[in-house]
Amino acid sequence: MGIAAQRQLNQIIGYIGMTVLVVLIGVPLLWLISGSMKTNTEYFTANPTFVPQAIQLSNFVRAWVQGNFGNYYVNSIGTTLLGAGAEVIMAVTTAYALVFLRVPGRNFFFVMLLVALMVPEQVVIIPNFLTVGEMGLLVTTSGDLSFADYVRGWLAIVLPGASIAFGTFLLRQYFRTIPQDLIDAAKVDGANHLTTLMNVVAPVATPAIATTALLSFTAKWNEYLWPLIVTFVDQLRTLPIALRRMLDAEGNAEWGVVMAAAILIVLPVIAVFLYAQRYVVDGLASGAVKG
């Protein structure tokens, strides 16, 4: 087989693979959009249709009102921004230290970082719960909450995930591709480590930092188990918990309203991804050029 034929075959295989991925990812999303505008009876007909028989945009209003999404949105936005921001700051500074600071034992700390990546989240739930409890961050009072109660509740959700090892690992690998000459030039100009990080490393590593922030935002926004464990009052709970509360004890619900609620939950993630994707693409292109 000639080079041209091999290249054409590779393109065909690539197109087939991308088509399969689009179908696997796109069909459930289209079904979600379609289902969000259906009546509940359309889900239980003998011959269900993909297109709604009667478009019910009122499902979105009902989902927002019945689910009390205004309160849950505030909690999700607050905890996600705080959690993702803290994780990115911790990841950037730790990765910088592991790559550019000549300190003894940094390889040992990196090995410990890899070990932390291998620990399942479920293993540390009880230690983390006891820790936030000893810190006085668990809010158990009912009724109207004060501003301090909201701060405590948000911190209980945010703090255990503020130092996830994956972001540090990802940024460390990217920082290692930055030429040492840039760091040395900054030192010659009299820059300290913070100045070097902010004015030299961070601009060069913007694609990797944006990717880390995007992954962190998505994970924090979709987190269900930990916020459920550490919040004892509805005023502090987040959107994934609100979605689960729309089902009754037997798992029944008005599915059109539930799917509309799911769309309301996923919209911010899509918006953030659309904004950040150019940084991710730039990072992939930069990595390809370096390779």
For position 213, what pLDDT does the model report? 92
Q: For residues 127-142, give the mean pLDDT.
A: 90
Q: Can you give the pLDDT at residue 165?
A: 83
Would you state the pLDDT for residue 249?
A: 62
Task: Tell me what the mean pLDDT of segment 59-69 comes to.
Answer: 87
The answer to whether residue 3 is domain-embedded is no
Residue 46 has pLDDT above 50, yes or no: yes
Supply the CATH number for residue 131's domain. 1.10.3720.10
The residue segments making up the domain with residue 122 are: 66-290
pLDDT at 88: 93
What confidence category does residue 93 fall into, taking pLDDT thresholds of 50, 70 and 90? very high
| 222-260 per-position pLDDT tens digit | 999 999 999 998 899 999 999 888 877 666 778 888 899
Q: Which residues contact 135 (CB under 8 A, 6 or more apart)?
A: none
Residue 43 has pLDDT above 90, yes or no: no
Give the residue-averaged pLDDT of 68-74: 89
**Percent of the residues in the chain that have a pLDDT greater than 70, as a whole number:** 95
81 band by pLDDT with thresholds 50, 70 and 90: very high
Residue 24 lies in a domain: no
Number of structural domains (the chain) is: 1
What mean pLDDT value characterizes the chain?
86
What single-letter amino acid sits at 228? L
In a domain, residue 224? The reply is yes
Question: For residue 224, what pLDDT is reported?
Answer: 93
Q: Is residue 181 part of a domain?
A: yes
